[in-house]
């Protein structure tokens, strides 16, 4: 493992991520665990394989409104988090594991990670009612533990909520996700084999 102190979404970060499975997309291949991979996993494997062969970012990458809101509001959520916990959030950078990688939103001390989600009111409301992190991000959360850190703070931020409840934080410890981490490691190894298969298919067709 190697950690790179780079600005996320910048050119160096994009280059480091090229041809690697990313924790933010683990849900694509974790679906139907124990069964054959579905279409999302196959499409994602093809994307990674193409990036490896062409050495350039896949063309079908996109940004939606949720992603744009996240980029715009993440600094606000980070500042509120620092004020709430009297701490400094360091750069998340990029954890490079060779064939896969992880880009947490921030690092706290030597043990902590934060994952910030800037969300619409209904999603924020559901998270507060649930009293724990949004399960839609379960596999991304599990992926953060590849770094060797001991806990992840899931941060939900909604600017439309009253100020006293715009930011909620739910901490998850490594031991709490032990089973999910084990499942991720098993399924990810299978997925990386699928990526290698796609890469071979692309190269064979080019050779033909």
Residue 70 has pLDDT above 80, yes or no: no
C-beta of residue 20 within 8 angstroms of C-beta of residue 10? no
Residue 76 has pLDDT above 80, yes or no: yes
Q: What is the dihedral of CA 90, 93, 98, 100, to 10 degrees?
A: 100
Tell me the pLDDT band of 208, cut-offs 50, 70 and 90: very low
Tokens of 203: 């190269």
135 CB burial (10 A radius; 0-12, 13-18, 19+): exposed
Q: Are strands 106-108 and 94-96 parallel, antiparallel or unpaired?
A: unpaired
**Average pLDDT estimate for 171-200:** 98
Reported as a single tens digit per residue, the pLDDT across 12-29 is 999 999 999 999 999 999
Tell me the pLDDT band of 61, cut-offs 50, 70 and 90: low
pLDDT for 65 equals 63
Select 2-207's CATH number: 3.90.320.10, 2.60.40.10, 3.40.50.720, 3.40.50.2000: 3.90.320.10
Tokens of 67: 């992603």
**Average pLDDT estimate for 141-153:** 98
**Average pLDDT estimate for 100-108:** 98
Closest listed residue to residue 142, CA positions, set 111, 118, 178: 178
């Amino acid at each position: 493992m190697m950690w790179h102190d780079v600005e996320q979404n910048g050119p160096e970060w994009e280059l480091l991520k090229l041809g690697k499975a990313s924790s933010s997309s683990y849900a694509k291949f974790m679906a139907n665990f124990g069964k054959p991979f579905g279409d999302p996993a196959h499409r994602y494997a093809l994307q990674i394989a193409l990036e490896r062969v062409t050495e350039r970012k896949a063309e079908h990458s996109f940004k939606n409104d949720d992603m744009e809101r996240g980029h715009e509001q993440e600094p606000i959520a980070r500042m509120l988090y620092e004020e709430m916990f009297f701490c400094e959030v360091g750069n998340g950078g990029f954890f490079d594991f060779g064939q896969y990688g992880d880009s947490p939103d921030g690092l706290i001390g030597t043990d902590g990670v934060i994952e910030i989600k800037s969300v619409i009111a209904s999603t924020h409301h559901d998270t507060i009612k649930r009293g724990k992190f949004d399960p839609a991000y379960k596999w991304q959360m599990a992926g953060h533990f590849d770094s060797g850190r001991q806990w992840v703070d899931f941060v939900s931020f909604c600017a439309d909520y009253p100020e006293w409840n715009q930011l909620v934080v739910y901490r998850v410890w490594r031991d709490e996700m032990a089973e999910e981490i084990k499942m991720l490691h098993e399924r990810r190894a299978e997925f990386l084999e699928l990526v290698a298969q796609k890469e071979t298919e692309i190269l064979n067709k080019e050779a033909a």
